[in-house]
Amino acid sequence: MNILDDLFINIGQWWTNLLSETLSLQDGVVTVINGLIGGLILALLGVVMVLALTYMERKVFSRLQDRIGPNRWGPLGIFQAVCDAIKMLTKEDIVPDKADKLLFNLAPILMVIPAVLLYAALPFGRGMVGSNLSVGVLYVVGIGSLTGIAVMTAGWSSNNKYGLLGAFRVVAQLVSYEIPMVLSMASVVLLTGSMSLVDIVEKQTIPNFVLMPVAFFIYTTAAMAELGRSPFDLLEADSEIVAGYFIEYSGMKFALFFLAEYINLFAVAGLITTMFLGGWQWPILPGWLWFFIKTFVVIFFFIWMRGSWPRFRIDHMLNFAWKFLVPLALANIMVVALVDKLLQDTGEAVRAAALLSSNILLIIITLAVVAWAGRRSRNVKLEAIVGAR
Amino acid sequence: MSVEQGVFIVLSAITLIGAWIVISNRNLYRAALGMVLSFFGVAGLYALLNAGFLAVAQVLIYIGAISILIIFAIMLTRKIMDREAVQSNNQWVISALVALALFGVIGYTLAFRVADSWAVSDAGLPSEAVAALGEALVTTYALPFEVASVLLLVALVGAIVIAREK
């Protein structure tokens, strides 16, 4: 079990020894080579994950809709992703006549870069992290906010009004949902006492989603919106703005947007695993396997949500962020800070119980407030109808 | 030349090229993207100086928030999206003079006043810079921190009041 657990670390150790002792290279050179190889592996991992995720998404989604899904090439159609890739590569590359050509070509690349950069901070297993940044959480948020610029560049340079509308929606959506997302991350940081993602995993003897279900709910919801996945897929709502910001893209450039979407999906699911589900910590199986299992469970949940919910209306989506998630996130951070500080000296079990019960209380209060507000708005509408008659 | 110096030159070049795109490009959207590039160079310089928190905050605030705001403002302003926007207005003489004077003052100070007396601290790098920064913000600098928060809150409320439909 230990051999399996440290499998990749041992391979890395062997490789470093090979470079530094057998080939007797200088330490600096070895660091540079290892850095380049690590970066390449992480970037390729993202692309390989896209192949797996597109297949999984299509298969699970069609099962949810009572269809079979891809079933032509290979057993259960597992080579479908390869067909898609070849199709994308051979499609005609169309650039609109009045597009800003430089930015039009730059936007898909700008889209993929931040998605790949996210992998640098993800702890895949014990000691398996690209770079253990002391500001890991903040790094993830900062890199995530770059997507907005890429999307706006794509929407604007296409010289298409639907593209521009999609870009406008992106700003409204990404910027709004960034706030509850950061606030729920802050409660995790508060509890851990560190912004390093490695520390966050190591300190979760009890996974954070048990201690802070409210923060978990807020983060998962906001992450879904940041990814632009259904029910928050307003930025590419096909029935309203015909795919939005990437309306004019075709062939490989379109594929890059697709790629970025799925690379992001895996990275964000990995972040949820890291921050709330205990990362690679769990008994019996090796840590890195647990990380992937948990991440794929989160991704399955995302696909499930996509299959179950209709798309939000844009005003509802913004109201949901500003009038529900942001106040709830603020209340949550106050509750976590208070409980954590008041019970600083008591045992871990007491603290965990107090955190969980205060969170449940917060959920009950929230549901009561929401029910009251809903009843009131229904009454107002009802009175307006009755009054009109 | 050490590795750090090489990285410094590359990052400075990125910053300066970005800044040059900002002032020379007639297309405002491209100018805004040039500014993003310039901010990235500055973030890289922070990272080079072991100020990880500042580097990430630079990316988060200047690129993730301010640049997006500027791009949004550009998109929402009429006629400014034209490819042939005018780069200067009738105040360019005065602003050129002010910029030149500022450059003169900074250049004079750097060249003649502090050339040989850069204060260099012997203290090692703090291992937990973020924690120290957070503690300083709520103890030593609590008042400026709170005043800045109130200022931002007032700006937020003011923006909503001005923009709200009557």
Q: Considering CB atoms only, which of A133, A145, A153 is closest to B60?
A: A145
CA distance A167 to chain B (A): 9
Is residue B156 a part of any domain in this protein? yes
Please answer yes or no on whether A149 and B72 come within 8 Å at the CB atom: no
Q: How confident is the model at residue B154 (pLDDT cuts 50, 70, 90)?
A: very high
Is residue B63 a part of any domain in this protein? yes
Please answer yes or no on whether A146 and B59 come within 8 Å at the CB atom: yes
Both B1 and B83 in one domain: the answer is yes
Contact present, A318 and A176 (Cβ < 8 Å): yes
Please answer yes or no on whether A171 and B68 come within 8 Å at the CB atom: yes
Sole residue written with tokens 């896209």: A50
DSSP string, B21-34: HHHH-SSHHHHHHH
Secondary structure letter of residue A125 according to DSSP: E
Structural domain boundaries in chain A = 95-380
Sole residue written with tokens 């991350």: A185
C-alpha to C-alpha distance for A123 and A197, rounded to whole angstroms:
7
DSSP string, A210-270: HH-HHHHHHHHHHHHHHHT-TTSGGGG-HHHHTTGGGTT--HHHHHHHHHHHHHHHHHHHH
Q: What is the pLDDT of residue A169?
A: 80
C-alpha to C-alpha distance for B66 and B72, rounded to whole angstroms:
10
Question: Which of B60, B87, B114 is the last residue before a domain boundary?
Answer: B87
Query: Mean pLDDT across chain A, nearest whole number?
Result: 82
Give me the helices (H) in B25-141, please: 28-48, 52-57, 68-76, 92-108, 129-138
Contact present, A227 and A210 (Cβ < 8 Å): no
Q: How confident is the model at residue A110 (pLDDT cuts 50, 70, 90)?
A: confident
Neighbouring residues of B125: CB distance < 8 A, sequence distance ≥ 6:
B50
Is residue B40 a part of any domain in this protein? yes
Question: Which of B65, B87, B109 is the last residue before a domain boundary?
Answer: B87
If one counts the domains in chain B, the total is 2
The number of C-alpha atoms within 13 Å of A187 and in the hemisphere containing its C-beta is 31
B54 in contact with chain A, both atoms CB, cutoff 8 A: no
Neighbouring residues of A269: CB distance < 8 A, sequence distance ≥ 6:
A295, A296, A298, A299, A302
Neighbouring residues of A353: CB distance < 8 A, sequence distance ≥ 6:
none
Residue B56 belongs to what domain range? 1-87
Q: Scanning every residue of chain A, which has its alpha carbon at the shortest distance from the alpha carbon of B127?
A: A134
B36 in contact with chain A, both atoms CB, cutoff 8 A: yes
**β-pairing, A123-125 with A128-129?**
antiparallel
Q: Considering CB atoms only, which of A142, A156, A175 is closest to B29?
A: A156
Please answer yes or no on whether A139 and B56 come within 8 Å at the CB atom: yes
Q: How confident is the model at residue B26 (pLDDT cuts 50, 70, 90)?
A: confident
- The predicted-structure confidence for B38-89, as pLDDT tens digits, reads as follows 998 999 998 888 788 888 888 888 888 888 888 888 777 766 555 566 667 7
Contact present, A119 and A128 (Cβ < 8 Å): no
Q: Which of residues 59-98 of B touch A (CB under 8 A)?
A: 59-60, 63-65, 67-68, 71-72, 75
φ/ψ of residue A125, rounded to 5: -170, -175
Mean pLDDT computed over A71-96: 81
pLDDT reading at A288 higher than 60: yes
Q: How far apart are the first and last CA of chain A?
A: 74
B51 in contact with chain A, both atoms CB, cutoff 8 A: no
CA distance A63 to chain B (A): 38
- The predicted-structure confidence for A176-225, as pLDDT tens digits, reads as follows 888 898 888 888 888 888 888 888 888 887 788 888 888 888 999 998 88
Question: Which of B87, B109, B139 is the last residue before a domain boundary?
Answer: B87
What residues in B contact A158, CB-CB < 8 Å?
Answer: none
- Where is mean pLDDT largest: A165-169, A299-303, B46-50? A299-303
Question: Where are any strands of DSSP class E within A90-153?
Answer: 123-125, 128-129
Give the C-alpha distances (Å, rounded to integers) separating A303 from A360, A373, B58. 27, 31, 34
Query: What percentage of chain B reaches a pLDDT higher than 70?
Result: 88
Q: What is the pLDDT of residue B116?
A: 67
CA B2 from chain centre, in angstroms, equals: 27
CA A113 from chain centre, in angstroms, equals: 15
- The predicted-structure confidence for A137-163, as pLDDT tens digits, reads as follows 888 888 888 888 888 888 888 777 787
A114 in contact with chain B, both atoms CB, cutoff 8 A: no
pLDDT reading at A1 higher than 60: no
Q: What is the pLDDT of residue B67?
A: 86
Both B7 and B65 in one domain: the answer is yes
C-alpha to C-alpha distance for B155 and B166, rounded to whole angstroms:
19
Backbone dihedral region for residue A74 (phi beyond 0: left; psi -120 to 50: alpha; all else: beta): left
The residues facing A125 across adjacent strands are A128
Is residue B102 a part of any domain in this protein? no
Both B10 and B78 in one domain: the answer is yes
Question: Where are any strands of DSSP class E within chain A?
Answer: 123-125, 128-129
Contact present, A151 and A186 (Cβ < 8 Å): no
Contact present, B49 and B26 (Cβ < 8 Å): no
Cis peptide leading into A231, omega within 30 of 0? yes
Neighbouring residues of A18: CB distance < 8 A, sequence distance ≥ 6:
none
Comparing A108-112, A125-129, B21-25, B153-157, the range with the smallest average pLDDT is A125-129
Is residue B134 a part of any domain in this protein? yes
A3 in contact with chain B, both atoms CB, cutoff 8 A: no
C-alpha to C-alpha distance for A142 and A314, rounded to whole angstroms:
25
B25 in contact with chain A, both atoms CB, cutoff 8 A: no
Mutate which: B21, B40, B59, B61, vs A, most A CBs within 10 A: B59
- Where is mean pLDDT largest: A141-155, A311-325, B93-107, B131-145? B93-107
- Count A/B contacts: CB-CB distance under 8 Å: 69
Radius of gyration of chain B (CA): 20
